[in-house]
Chain A
Amino acid sequence: MNKILGIFGLLIFVCLFTTVLNDSFVGQYNLYNTTRWSALFGILSIGVAFVIITGGIDLSIGSVVGLVACLLPMLVVEQGYSPTAAVLIVMLVAAAIGLLHGLLITRLDLQPFVVTLCGLLFYRGFARWLTDDGTLGFGQDYDGLRLLAIGKPCSWATMLFGGGICLFLYGVWNLGRSRPPGDPDVDAPRRRDLDVERTISAWSIPAIGVLLAVAGSSRFWSGWESGPGTPLFEIAGYQIRSLGIEVSEHAASMPSTVMKYAGTVLFVPTLLAFLLWAWRSDAGRMKKPLALVIGSLIMLGLCVWQLVPLFRSAAADDRWQVGAMEVSGEMLKTVLMMIVFVIVGGVIGSIGWLISAAGTASGKSKALTPALVATGVMALLGQTQLAATMVPMPMLIMIALAIVASIFLNRTVYGRYLLALGRNEEAARYSGINTKRMIVVAYVLCSLAAGLGGILFALDVNSVQPSGFGNFYELYAIAAAVLGGCSLRGGEGNILGVVIGAAVMRVLYNAINILGISTKLEFAIIGMVILAGAIVDVVVKRIVAKRAVLAAEEAG
């Protein structure tokens, strides 16, 4: 949970940082593209997360993406298969690849690194030979198929509405379903506390759902989507058209307004309650981080006030007189960027500290954290054009996949088996788990996700070069999974974190472009961020371990 909050905090701050320096980041065009690419890489990352959880690795993802991306247009355009059949065939190929990896690893005891490294080389070479290195594409035909990747089924406002309703229903079901029986070993005042914590966290889910639904539905108050007969669903050549109600320009921005105000109005009391409870439970521990947070927020305010205008007005070829020195605009921009970077880092760090200090101090403040985060994020998103932006089709696919994957990992015995064997394969085997079969399943899932990603990438780009298509994608996917909380030692990971990790990677990439930082630095910056994430993770883990030892010793 803390890990997800951490990576989510990083995402928010990279976004904020970029927005402050260049607000075209939150324009419709850029939001659409960023979400689309995040979703595409998210699909690959979800797949590789399963393999990483078993303690393995899959280096062949990029090549599988390339192979699938070549096969699909070949089958459809050159061989004349129907799109449905072609998609099924390439998915079967992907599944077979995963099966092969899994069997080689479990039956012959080969190392995953070796097997998938050979896969990386083989599938790439095979794809190039198959296509004779020629560029492939779907041309202007096959729009129905291409809608899978470039379709825009609805706006984010509608998504918020739908998601809010689902979250609300889930929350209500969750509320009615299980009240854990009162633990007889716990004394009365502690039990009362526990009850309050449970109530807060149980109610916060439907409450957030209602808020999202209300925000999204403001679009509906003044008309369905954005005008008469706009496309609602465009799938496989069908267009389901929406209600033909005329709406004003103003109505299109309603969801943002609602989110902004509702989010802000709720954020303040939740924050106050959070601070109050945290403060009351252990005032001493809270003072330091709180002072730090306030301090760094003031710094952030100052830097937004002073530095950002300076940054924006500095063109690269300007000459600036700073004291006795003359600096170039580019230099000035770099320096300003670094200062802002440090300050934003301080804010991330201190808020993380606040949450962890408060989180350990009191269960009540911990229970408030999700609500706090959700309302805060809504208030921020209200400032953007997100609500009016269209949802890319891959995002819907990725969300569906993430939900299924998350349920598989956390609610089914198979998911539990994957986590168990990732931590300790021998103990899992001694507990009656067919570990070899589960490992094969993980590799099949990973290759299937890579296959699905390959299809979507090919349809999206529509121009596939066999020699380079999907190069390095496996590393992006692995990096996203690691950022999202998977440990390469295995046995650790959660889908939400991985999806957010993939988003962080894309947003960083996008930020580098949009802020005009030299793209030559792209890898350097992404590498630094991942390294920083890994370091923070290790430090946090040590602290957690220390606390756990103490708790165990106190219990005897």
Chain B
Amino acid sequence: MSQTPGKNPRPLLEVRSLGKRFPGVRALHQVDLTLMPGEVLALVGENGAGKSTLMKILAGVQPPDEGQILIDQKPVTIGSVAEAMRLGITLIHQELNLSDNLSVGANIFLGREPTRFGLIDRERIDRESRRHLASVGLDVDPQTLVRDLTIGRQQMVEIAKALSIDARVLIMDEPTSSLSQREAEALFKVVQGLREHGVSVIYISHRLAEVETLADRVAVMRDGENAGELVGDHINHDAMVSRMVGRDVSRFYERTVRIDGTANGSEQPRPPALEVTDLVVPDHPMHNVSFQVMPGEIVGIAGLVGAGRTELLRCLFGVTQPLGGSVRINGQTVQLRNPKDAIASGMGLVPEDRKEQGLVIDFSVRSNVSLASLSDKAGAGMWIDFAAESEDTRQSINRLRIKTPTADQIVRYLSGGNQQKVVLGKWLAMNPKILLLDEPTRGIDIGAKEEIYRLMETLAAEGLAILFVSSEMEEVIAMSDRTLVMHEGEMTGQLVGDEIGEEQIMNLATGVVSR
């Protein structure tokens, strides 16, 4: 399957029929991969396709069961992370591995600090860090604490750290998942620069659009096997997706019906399910926000990272207190002092960070599904209704098609998509009127994404008002009846129906125009 570009015939890294089994699961099977010097190889595939396992083997985190790894055409065994680094292979994890209480320089030289007379040579750290930072185009003082940097800059520090140990192969796992557009673009530039300096990059991403622009070659994985490679002009969205899922799929999920919430039609006017007037979110005290969501309507909130969308949802859900303005639910003004109030008035929030805010990750599926509705269904206000709990859980598992061996399975051991479905199940168990979703499909695979879209649509058809925040442009465009766009805490505009398009959203999101 391997392709060899003409001008440089000697691959830097070669993987031959690599296999890895976990008890009961075949994680990798007969995987071949070649990497040329100065090449950007994108690795795509659904969750569980074996990308992470392959990368962990290359980075020395796990040993392979069978197969060979060759560097400069010599077979090597990579027994540990340190050994991988010595061979020039560095993995940059999705969750960054920096000590945020230490300075940038200290992080770059962590574990191999240069010393003078037995003491850490701060000057040298400073000097060399500056050099490495400059090579990734980052202009920060090496003595800045890492926690004072944005996520995007922290990522650059990681890359600088990798370069400082003369990495020849840089493996980046979902590097843009928490970056803003601008930060992501800066990252792309650095990757281009690396390529010119002969560093090879293995780039893992779910975002196929950036793969299209960045990659020289794409390797697609499916069920632990190679599912094909694409080179040059053949790299496009549909080709990648069809190889990932093993069948042809339409470009994106398409909704069957859309409603126009702004027009009330012939029916008698209903009050909006959610009406927000001049709400001042504490994180952006200079702006106020007004909008409404009708029952049965799906409203998307688009914007760049840091536009204040998550903060708006948190404020609506009572996690933070608004500095002004009012919220009306079904025509009634409500005071939302805490999430409890919000839930009592019929709201549910699927938060951005499902492991920290959405789930008690070490609880069973059952206990998570029932957590929010427990007190409503409790006898005499305190006795847990175990029968109702089991019934709700069974319904959630069936309706949301949660793949779990039993209702008592600990949620930590489910896949990301199934975890997200458990969070949804928690809110469905209490029959909400308004559902707030914050990045509902982040980090979950295409199959589960589609199921969540379908569910959003069904719920809206049943009369639920849905307000969702998403950084994936395609998702906002495909799913929303109406799109609100935010820019630095301000609501810069509203798009309805055919107006919802990539260009219009970007103009509003970057604050170029507003209306």
Interface residues of A (CB under 8 A from B): 178, 180, 411-414, 416-417, 419-420, 423-424, 426-434, 491, 545-546, 548-556
Among candidates B25, B360, B374, B412, residue contacting A413 with C-beta atoms closer than 8 Å: B374
Name, among A546, A551, A552, A556, the residue most crowded by chain B CB atoms within 10 Å (CB to CB). A552
Chain B neighbourhood of A417, CB < 8 A: 374
Contact B414 A552 (CB under 8 A): yes
Interface residues of B (CB under 8 A from A): 22-25, 317, 319, 338-340, 342-344, 349, 351, 356-363, 367, 371-372, 374-375, 378, 381-384, 386-387, 390, 403-405, 409-410, 412-415, 426
Chain A neighbourhood of B356, CB < 8 A: 424, 426-427
Contact A430/B349 with A413-B382, A420-B367 known, Cβ cut-off 8 Å: yes
3 closest A-B pairs (Cβ-Cβ)? A432-B343, A552-B413, A556-B403
Chain B neighbourhood of A419, CB < 8 A: 363
Residue of A nearest to B406 (CB): A551
Task: Please give the distance in Å from B251's CB to the nearest CB on chain A.
Answer: 26
Chain A neighbourhood of B371, CB < 8 A: 416, 420, 427-428, 431, 433
Contact A424 B360 (CB under 8 A): yes
Chain A neighbourhood of B403, CB < 8 A: 555-556
Contact A412 B383 (CB under 8 A): yes
Give complex CA distance A428, B381 in Å. 18
Contact B378 A413 (CB under 8 A): yes
Task: Please give the distance in Å from B348's CB to the nearest CB on chain A.
Answer: 9
Task: Please give the distance in Å from B413's CB to the nearest CB on chain A.
Answer: 4
Task: Please give the distance in Å from B238's CB to the nearest CB on chain A.
Answer: 26
What are 29 of the A-B contact pairs (CB < 8 Å)?
A178-B387, A180-B390, A411-B384, A412-B382, A412-B384, A413-B375, A413-B378, A413-B382, A414-B382, A416-B384, A419-B363, A420-B360, A420-B367, A420-B371, A423-B363, A424-B359, A424-B360, A427-B357, A427-B360, A427-B361, A428-B360, A428-B371, A429-B339, A430-B317, A431-B339, A432-B340, A433-B371, A550-B23, A553-B24
Contact A424/B361 with A412-B384, A431-B371, A431-B426 known, Cβ cut-off 8 Å: yes
Task: Please give the distance in Å from A519's CB to the nearest CB on chain B.
Answer: 40
Chain A neighbourhood of B319, CB < 8 A: 429-430
Give complex CA distance A546, B23 in Å. 9
Residue of A nearest to B374 (CB): A413
Contact A552 B360 (CB under 8 A): no
Chain B neighbourhood of A424, CB < 8 A: 356, 359-362
Contact B384 A433 (CB under 8 A): no
Task: Please give the distance in Å from B258's CB to the nearest CB on chain A.
Answer: 30
Contact A554/B340 with A412-B382, A427-B358 known, Cβ cut-off 8 Å: no
Chain B neighbourhood of A423, CB < 8 A: 360-363
Chain B neighbourhood of A432, CB < 8 A: 338-340, 342-344, 372, 375
Contact A413/B384 with A420-B371, A434-B338, A434-B340 known, Cβ cut-off 8 Å: yes
Contact B22 A553 (CB under 8 A): yes
Contact A426 B384 (CB under 8 A): no
Contact B378 A426 (CB under 8 A): no
Chain B neighbourhood of A551, CB < 8 A: 405, 409, 413
Give complex CA distance A424, B351 in Å. 14
Contact A552 B367 (CB under 8 A): no
Residue of B nearest to A424 (CB): B360
Contact B378 A430 (CB under 8 A): no
Chain B neighbourhood of A411, CB < 8 A: 383-384
Residue of A nearest to B414 (CB): A552
Give complex CA distance A555, B405 in Å. 5
Name, among A178, A416, A550, the residue most crowded by chain B CB atoms within 10 Å (CB to CB). A416
Chain A neighbourhood of B342, CB < 8 A: 432
Given contacts A427-B356, A427-B357, 5 further A-B contacts (CB under 8 A): A423-B360, A427-B358, A432-B339, A552-B413, A555-B404
Give complex CA distance A553, B384 in Å. 31
Give complex CA distance A414, B426 in Å. 18
Give complex CA distance A178, B386 in Å. 10
Chain A neighbourhood of B338, CB < 8 A: 429, 432, 434
Chain A neighbourhood of B404, CB < 8 A: 552, 555
Chain B neighbourhood of A556, CB < 8 A: 403
Give complex CA distance A282, B340 in Å. 49
Contact A416 B367 (CB under 8 A): yes
Give complex CA distance A470, B270 in Å. 67
Chain B neighbourhood of A550, CB < 8 A: 22-25
Give complex CA distance A429, B319 in Å. 8
Task: Please give the distance in Å from B451's CB to the nearest CB on chain A.
Answer: 13
Contact B24 A420 (CB under 8 A): no
Task: Please give the distance in Å from A271's CB to the nearest CB on chain B.
Answer: 28
Residue of A nearest to B380 (CB): A412
Residue of A nearest to B25 (CB): A553
Give complex CA distance A491, B367 in Å. 13
Chain B neighbourhood of A555, CB < 8 A: 403-405, 409
